[in-house]
Structure 1
Amino acid sequence: MSKKDFYDVLGVSQDASDADIKKAYRKLARQYHPDVNKEANAEDKFKEVKEAYDTLSDSQKRAHYDRFGHTDPNQFGGGGAGAGDFGGFGDIFDMFFGGGGRRDPNAPRQGSDLQYTMTLEFKEAVFGKEMDIEIPREETCDTCHGSGAKPGTKPETCKHCGGAGQLNVEQNTPFGRVVNRRVCNHCSGTGQMIKDKCRTCGGQGKVKKRKKIHIKIPAGVDTGQQIRVAGQGEPGVNGGPAGDLFVVFNVRPHEFFKRDGDDLYCEMPLTFVQAALGDEIEVPTLKGKVKLKIPAGTQTGTDFRLKGKGVANVRGAGQGDQHIRVRVITPKNLNDSQKDILRQFAEESGTEVPDEQNDNFFAKAKRAFKNFGE
């Protein structure tokens, strides 16, 4: 699979400044960092963003990429940003853990975002509504107030890592002594040890609850769109802010209307008399029936438009239109009198009408060969 353009990955133009590139990188790295984003593809997106930044933040690599694109990737090895700060990870540590590449396990962190999928009826999506929903989420334990420790006790500083949440492991390699920093396996990176755990939450500091939330669905939402409810995600860690709730919509189809963006489409039947002589018919719209004039001689498949009778734009940018396609219905089960009238019409208009009794299979086949042979 071919790689995406690095400028598209970061969402910047090819003439973007170094400051613009770094700003875009920081924003996307924060969005997709695995410590913050728990979605399945977040790690892959994070790696893609970092690779793009590693190239575009280095003037030599960027110049080579502008000329050759993704071809000859070996030219991107060595030097550049990776030589001084481990391939750009200095920026990541500064962004998430505060300078020096050392994470503070007790620093405030924002809670995780939540996603709730809601199915709406067509009318609810078109006109919007207000309603209450219940979502399962973690909330701070009322017994220990989030500490995870039994009431009357406190977590203690981990004696193995000194509260840093990380351990330094030294290794001898052919290139010299290397120090690897790893998450402390005694405190799981928290920097604290809980001897007497809270019985309510088992030392987690959080409990699962069902939360009722009032939401307002704007008019005009469609399948795949979402709204953000700030502060209604998972609670923050160490006093950090709560995450957000994203409500994603799935709209059930309508039996009469078909929707494409803000426009509506429908089909109206016409008798061949209405189509031939013209008529004025009533057409259902979202806000009641309206009259539509059908000109004489209208053919099946003709489209008419009712301006402003579609769906309100969810961002307030006007109203869509309603499109009506007419379909002429051929009558069935005609009586003898009706057939005679039609034969008379055909005769006067110069149209040949076959005799039903003599128009057998062989006659039809013969005419087909004759017509296609001409």
Structure 2
Amino acid sequence: MQFKDYYDILGVEPSAGDAEIKTAYRRLARKYHPDVSKEAGAEEQFKAVNEAYEALRDPQKRAAYDQLRTRGYRPGDEVQPPPGGYGYGQGGAPEGFDFDEVFAGGGAGGGFSDFFESLFRRQGGGGFSQQQARGAHGPADLRARLAVSLEAVYRGDSVRVGLNGKTFEVRVPKGVRPGQVIRLAGQGTRGGNLLLEIEYAAHPQFEVDGRNIIYTLPVAPWEAALGATISVPTLGGKVELKIPASSEAGRKLRLRGRGLPNGSSTAGDQIVELEVQAPAPEGDAQREAYGTLRDAFAGKWRRE
């Protein structure tokens, strides 16, 4: 098993804060997303970025990884964590439970490397910890966290989960919330139940605020100033969004009903926040155009 430098993959320092790590992840995930990137090896880069963020976004996982990293390993070095890992999962769980995590195949959190799996999965029992629910020799429930993609939550998809050589088809209830539990009767120990606590996998484009989906849309200065119609991704597919003229960075536009479903109630919205970006000029013609723009707005646009 080869060591991976997750900080290097995201291009941040080990001292980076949560906000800096999130920003780096979103930038790289957009760059290498298979749906948009034409670069060679983009899919593998995208998987590596997702894995790095999954390891560093959670304080317990990050602490476990940092503990291993202090041993001086470099990318490609052979490493074997001791049985039980480096303390991940200790503390912070509800009384009476030990948690591990599983990830649904095919989602943003799936397809992690052997290094990730070895570091963050407990040894034995297929990676699950038991709760002796009905006596030492009777049925025992198994409880785990299941990270599912936002698309699966939006659509109510079925996902595959592997345990002890078995593969289960698990239907994700449409609009399920983090912390809710899916119960698979009889799939625990000695006839107990398998209890899967839902969490949302990190997404390269979207963030979640309650039922609302937050999306940051890069726009060019002329699109913000003059207005434009731009194709915007949503969990249900792309839609056309009209950018009003004279828009400024940070302006929020609302796509009603494009957030997460809420049973029979109204679905949440997608909030689109504008991020004005000036593309780097390529060639004399574009540099000349920027010069013309500079001269036209000289001294008139900067706010004191």
TM-score, normalised via structure 1 length: 0.38
TM-score by length of 2: 0.46
